[in-house]
Structure 1
Amino acid sequence: MLCRFSEKGRVRKKILRAVLCLFTVPFVLAPIARAQTVNHSYPRIGVQHFGEAPADWYARFDLVIVPWADNDKVRQIKAMNPNTVVLWTDGWTSFNSKNPVQAYIPNEAPQWFAKDSKGRDISLNWGKLMNMSSLCPRVNGKRYVDRHPEVLVQQVDLNVYDGIASDWCWGEPHGIDDIDLDRNGKNDYIEHGDGWVAQRWVEGVLAMLEKLRSLIGPNKLMWINSGKFQDWGWEYSNGVELERYAGILKWNFVWNRYKNFMSQAISPHILLMDARPWGGDIYSPTPTKNHLKLARFLLTVTLMGDGYFNFNPLEAGEHTYHSYYDEFDVKLGFPTSDGQELPNGCLARFFTNGAVITNPTGVTQTITDSDLQSLAGYGGPYYRFKGAQDPKFNNGKLFSSVELFSSTQAKGNATLVVGDGIILVKQPQTIVSDIIIDNLDYGTSVMQDPAVFVGNWQQTTDGRGYYSYKIRPSKNKYPHAFTTGGNGSETATFTPDIRIPGRYEVFEWHGYVQQNQMATRVPYTVHFGGGKKQTVFVNQNQNQGRWNSLGT
């Protein structure tokens, strides 16, 4: 089910999701300009998703990075939100026999597999390592880094997609101690040293980026995930990924490189901060989608520049399902200042419609309105917005001061800084992101619990049109629930935690297991204020694969 908050009688235009039931169903509460024009307002929200979801989920985001080529789905997304940028992504560094994009390699050029000093293919956990170096043998006059860009542009329609991304493009080999790039039977790490190997490798990667840029032209976007905040390739690519950030390991390094990226990379920029808690975080709640402080912290760090943000819960694994926060729906507009440092080490930045503060110091700090007034661009007074997910923190009051948490913790041999941040607005306002209650927790909104099923319900992947956040099989074996006709004892109860009283429009979404054999009179009973309730009957043979309003 979906619940959508209606302020002053006006229903907010937002998209949400629910689950499928056959008999008793779910419901929802409600610097060098070279590429295309992309200038999203702030905060900029992205999603890198290794699965597939309905178009209305992706249309919530400014930046979408996906591994599937589906022109119709992308057209649906853009019909709902013409400003959503969609990139197609694929891994470049290793060969996976199950990846159809790489199917040509074994027959066309097995010489392109990286070799060790004994002439053996180098295997990683994810497949064979490709030789992305400048010394890769040529087959028909081409190295892997020359040929693969030609294959990539054949996989996706760039009249529909906005560009091409690499999920995996190492700037140097990792996890190995023997490689023979010059094919002389000697281990290059011993013969030439780590630096030589890294240099030959990145030379090849840069050649690949240059070739890909020449093929897609100056008006399409290119995005690179190297696993690090790399400083190479900025002359060809529009963006990088800060992957699996559970906090900040080296603040000065990250902040300075972020500023360098913004001043040196080609425009428009599409840096993506990929926030993901780690298992050793002593401050993390369970489930980690409710780690509101970490989400605010890394979002506000991102807002000190022009990047995009997504939050991937720890339970999800990499790039599978994502969380959506009230802060995403704040309309900050555009920056009116750069990120500025306060005397206590916190940073603040001013926007058309508000201000942002973040605390990366490792020590809890108090920031006052007077502190903000000392900075260039102050446009207050400011207010905390009134939010539903954390109403004590986002309380809607006039801003006078805030205590922002920050601390340090050991992560391996490094020191990780975790913290908090706050988004302020110029006018009092209420922000309630759409509340989705799903049959599984990963499809259910932040600070909410999934549906409760009583009776003979089955979880299935059969059918079509159901609202499912499809991800890797190990995480998503049962996308939706159904039951057959009976005496009414089978129930599915979707209970949103309503933290801000008001009018909410309630929606349901149903698909089908057998298209023309669905229940024709499914009762949805909506309970609301004052002990009242209303029952709406839905014919599930009709209006499948869409949100259907049950009333406000």
Structure 2
Amino acid sequence: MTRCLRIMAVFLTATMAAATTQAGPTTREGEEKPLLRRIADRTFPSVFQAWNPAENLKGEDALVTAARHDLIFHGPGYLGLQWNRQPVGLATGFTPGSIAQARQKRKRLLKLNPNLVLLAEIRYRDARKGFLPDGHEWWMYKDGKPVPGWAEGGFYQLDYRNPEYRRHVAARCRAVVETGAVDGVMLDWWQEDEHRLALAKAVRAAVGQKALILVNANDRTTPLTAEYVNGYFMECYRSRTAGDWKRIADTLAWAEKNLRPPRINCLETWYHGSRRDLNLMRATTALSLTHSDGYCLFSDPNPLPRPDHLHDWYPFWNKSLGRPLGPGKGRPDKAVQREFENGTVVYNPMGNQPVTVTFSEDRTSLGTGRRGRKHLLAGADGDIYLKPQTRTEAAKAQE
């Protein structure tokens, strides 16, 4: 891990500097910030939404809850976009009325969070029955029968090995970006093979050089397609062992170094027992904060019989840190530490012994609420220690 962090140092510092330089002049009131500036202007922690929302903020307007996140990806319908042909899998455009509706929803969301990034998932690997006509050549077949998408059922695989179908997917990606409602696209189920490499090239050519491409690589690296994609959705379904957390950290560090800038890596882990696995939520957040300039999420496990990626909004995620002052650094006790404008983040990986975090001044722990110069942090945990002048932020974060 220490070696990865040394490698990251140059790249994280350069990326933040480049993003800030390219952000451009101050935006006039009412104007949307350029994409690079929205990414660079974020303060931390920075959380993303994978399809489904936080659901514990009862009584709060749904758009307000959504705008707590700094990046959201969802199907085009989330913004109100409607494909202009039936079955929808054959469409390569959207109805004019729905484009106007989607732009208005985008405008409302960006008013609530001026740094929000919006992506649309374009399905290429599987879809529900009815996405294409029965018997269509773009379904994937085995022994003359459609191939199921995954074990939970209801979805069937699409034949992305077919060059004509890949061109069709790329055209759909171009269409959604050209609506002006989103900043790029998300492609699920990503791994390395010649067909996905061809798809990555086709999608990048279709959406242009500035649009974002996010892919779900789980906890794997994808060297072949790295130059075409801006970030991983790291849907980390394996997080029960120290080896799992090391692999996650190594992949995140690799992605921060090797993917196409601007980078938008999104780290998600699932709870083990319940949403009250607060140490795992803090560990996920701290891992993201110390190893990347990306986004984090702690959510429900997919096997539950309910929509995937539902989650709570945790006070720990309320904005408190400001921006990073430099890259994360490995400590002699094998924890990782990173300094921010308003405090310090420490990540202590699973399998490590408890560590003592010491400061020359009183710091307030967001994990425990305790104020002092020494704090004990267990393994498989992380914490944010706010400086004295930001104690009011600590109070807000506990609300």
TM over 0.5: yes
Match of 2:378 among 385, 392, 405: 405
Structure 1 residue 51: Cα displacement? 6.5
For the residues of structure 2 that align with 1:41 and 1:346, how far apart are their CA atoms? 23
Structure 1 residue 106: Cα displacement? 5.1
Match of 1:225 among 192, 216, 219: 216
Please name the residue that 1:114 is paired with: 140
Instruction: Kindly indicate which of the two structures has a greater share of residues assigned to helix.
Output: 2
Amino acid at match of 1:169: W
Q: What percent identity do the matched residue pairs reach?
A: 20
Query: Structure 1 residues 157, 50: CA separation in 2 closer, same or farther (over 3 Å shift)?
Result: farther
- Asked if the contact 1:354–1:382 (Cα under 8 Å) also holds between the matched residues in 2, the reply is no
Aligned residue for 1:47, secondary structure, equals strand
Please say if 1:206 is aligned against 2:168: no
Match of 2:114 among 77, 82, 87: 82
For the residues of structure 2 that align with 1:164 and 1:433, how far apart are their CA atoms? 34
Structure 1 residue 243: Cα displacement? 1.0
Query: Structure 1 residues 160, 348: CA separation in 2 closer, same or farther (over 3 Å shift)?
Result: same
The C-alpha deviation readout for 1:55-99, integer Å capped at 9, x for no partner, is 11111111111222321322211122221111111432113224x
Structure 1 residue 222: Cα displacement? 1.2
Please name the residue that 1:365 is paired with: 354
- Asked if the contact 1:50–1:319 (Cα under 8 Å) also holds between the matched residues in 2, the reply is yes
Please say if 1:422 is aligned against 2:383: yes
Query: Structure 1 residues 77, 257: CA separation in 2 closer, same or farther (over 3 Å shift)?
Result: same
Unpaired stretches in structure 2, ≥5 consecutive residues:
1-14, 23-33, 55-60, 81-101
User: Which residues of 2 match residues 19-418 of structure 1 at below 5 A?
Assistant: 36-37=35-36, 38-39=39-40, 40-50=42-52, 54-67=62-75, 68-70=78-80, 71=102, 72-98=104-130, 102-103=131-132, 110-116=136-142, 118-124=143-149, 125-133=153-161, 136=162, 142-155=163-176, 157-166=178-187, 168-171=188-191, 202-232=193-223, 233-245=225-237, 246-247=239-240, 249-278=243-272, 284=273, 288-304=274-290, 305-314=292-301, 317=306, 319-369=308-358, 381=361, 383-385=363-365, 393-395=368-370, 397-402=371-376, 404-406=377-379
* TM value normalised by structure 2: 0.73
Larger-gyration structure (1/2): 1
Unpaired stretches in structure 1, ≥5 consecutive residues:
1-30, 137-141, 173-201, 279-283, 371-379, 407-418, 435-498, 501-552
Amino acid at match of 2:35: Q
Structure 1 residue 362: Cα displacement? 1.0
Query: Structure 1 residues 318, 355: CA separation in 2 closer, same or farther (over 3 Å shift)?
Result: farther
For the residues of structure 1 that align with 2:315 and 2:79, how far apart are their CA atoms? 31
For the residues of structure 1 that align with 2:123 and 2:395, how far apart are their CA atoms? 37
Structure 1 residue 112: Cα displacement? 2.8
- Asked if the contact 1:91–1:169 (Cα under 8 Å) also holds between the matched residues in 2, the reply is no
For the residues of structure 1 that align with 2:246 and 2:280, how far apart are their CA atoms? 19
Amino acid at match of 2:201: E
Aligned residues: 326
For the residues of structure 2 that align with 1:382 and 1:316, how far apart are their CA atoms? 45
Amino acid at match of 1:112: W
For the residues of structure 2 that align with 1:290 and 1:130, how far apart are their CA atoms? 38
- Asked if the contact 2:323–2:340 (Cα under 8 Å) also holds between the matched residues in 1, the reply is yes
Query: Structure 1 residues 268, 399: CA separation in 2 closer, same or farther (over 3 Å shift)?
Result: farther
Structure 1 residue 122: Cα displacement? 2.3
Aligned residue for 2:203, secondary structure, equals helix
For the residues of structure 2 that align with 1:81 and 1:426, how far apart are their CA atoms? 25
Instruction: Kindly indicate which of the two structures has a greater share of residues assigned to strand.
Output: 1
Aligned residue for 2:181, secondary structure, equals coil
